[in-house]
Amino acid sequence: MPEVIFSVVDDEPLHFHLDTRGTVEPVREFSVVPRVSGFIGSHVIEDGRSVRQGDVLLAFVDDEWKIAMAEVQNSYLRAKQNYDMELRLRTGNQGRASRSSTSAQLLPNDSEADTAGMSRFDERLLMNETGYAEARTSLERVELEKSYTTIRAPFNGQIYSQSLYSDGGYITAGTDMAKLVDFSRIRIRFDVLESEMLQVETGMDVRIRAADGTELQGRVRYISPQVDRERKTGQVIVEADNPGGRVKPGMSVDGRIFIGSAEGRVRAPRAALLERDKRSLVFKLNGNQLEWIYVTPEAVTSDWIIINSPDISPGDTLAVDRHFAVSHLQKVRPTIR
């Protein structure tokens, strides 16, 4: 009697999926690029260093900006006094002048003097004549530039940098110093054949597997609207939580996109299905004897089939290997996989 390998069938649903491969990238990434030039006062730009939201990533020595701030504040206060005085003279208001302020966060109509009787145009004209508008703009500009001397982390993450920096070093504006990467949640761009693109929908579940065996559960977030003409593939963008940060940006991972499922009386291994005389059949085990049963699969994947034959029930045993040359009612030595 020939030895034949068998498997026990069940009634689990059959899931359809697309297997693909993609590259990992972080959902959030921030480039540390200063907008002004200066000497480094302090920094935490070290490759792999973890930072919290609000931490100072880079701070320039700001002595020059402090001096410039004091100069424009004095010019602003003088212009503000001139403006208030002229405003009271032109409106006949004898009320008290506005309080002196060193804040640049002032509204266009920030004087406490009464502007009743003056049009908006006349008021702006007076601001220009007294130099008040220009002084306030200068103050706002210097405050804005001073704010550029400090760069803070917009979110929790890790520093990625291939350069070393020291306190006191000079950095020019526009230098790409580092990246702050948050990969607690990741994005993967999977390539999918153009013939399979229409099967994918946003919200579908995706199983992600890294080379070290780490598995994540993701979901289709976007589908690219364009197909690569040369490669004949489109991109499916998947997002997934990455607890512990084990999957790193730049890694290649395998993805299995679940595109649907089918249910039936029996789910059996795809290897159980044979073809004789252009008809599909399976071999069912009865004791140590084979029974030849013609079937019409309701659904087929590379691994499984769904069968609705009344002659086969969950728990039955079907031949899945070494059964190509056997025949109906033949006795065999069964081995269960």
Tens of pLDDT, residues 183-211: 999 999 999 999 888 899 999 999 999 99
What is Dmax (Cα atoms) for the chain? 119
Joined together, the tokens standing for residue 297 give: 């699969």
Side chain identity, residue 7: S
Predicted local distance difference test score (pLDDT) of residue 116: 52
104 pLDDT more than 90: no
Distance of CA 138 to the CA centre of its chain: 40
Give the count of beta carbons closer than 10 Å to the beta carbon of residue 190.
Answer: 26
CATH number corresponding to 34-60+150-175? 2.40.50.100
3-14+264-336 in CATH: which number? Answer: 2.40.420.20
Domain segments of the chain as ranges: 3-14+264-336, 15-26+184-261, 34-60+150-175, 64-146
Q: Which two tokens stand for residue 84?
A: 């208030």
Which CATH architecture is the domain 15-26+184-261 placed in? Beta Barrel (2.40)
Give the pLDDT confidence score for residue 118 in this predicted structure: 65
pTM over 0.85: no
> What pLDDT, in 10s, does the model give residues 110-125?
444 455 556 777 788 8
* pLDDT, position 111: 45
Amino acid at 99: R
Mean pLDDT of the chain: 88
String of DSSP letters for 290-301: EEEEE---SEE-
Antiparallel, parallel or unpaired: β 279-286 and 274-276: antiparallel
For 44, other C-beta atoms within 10 Å of its C-beta total: 16
Scanning the structure block, which residue is given the tokens 């880079």? Answer: 58
Least confident range from 29-43, 97-111, 161-175: namely: 97-111
179 touches 222 (CB < 8 A): no
In the numeric block, which tokens belong to residue 242? 């990455």
pLDDT score for 99: 40
For 216-265, what is each residue's pLDDT tens digit? 999 999 999 889 888 889 999 999 999 988 999 999 999 999 998 899 99
pLDDT, mean of residues 301-305: 90
Q: Of 157, 172, 183, nearest to 45 (Cα)?
A: 157
pLDDT band at 337 (very low <50, low <70, confident <90, very high): confident
Distances (CA, A) of 245 to 21, 181, 206, 275, 295: 19, 11, 18, 48, 48
Q: Tell me if residue 192 falls in helix, strand or coil.
A: strand
The pLDDT of residue 87? 83
Task: Provide the pLDDT confidence category of residue 127 given band limits of 50, 70 and 90.
Answer: confident
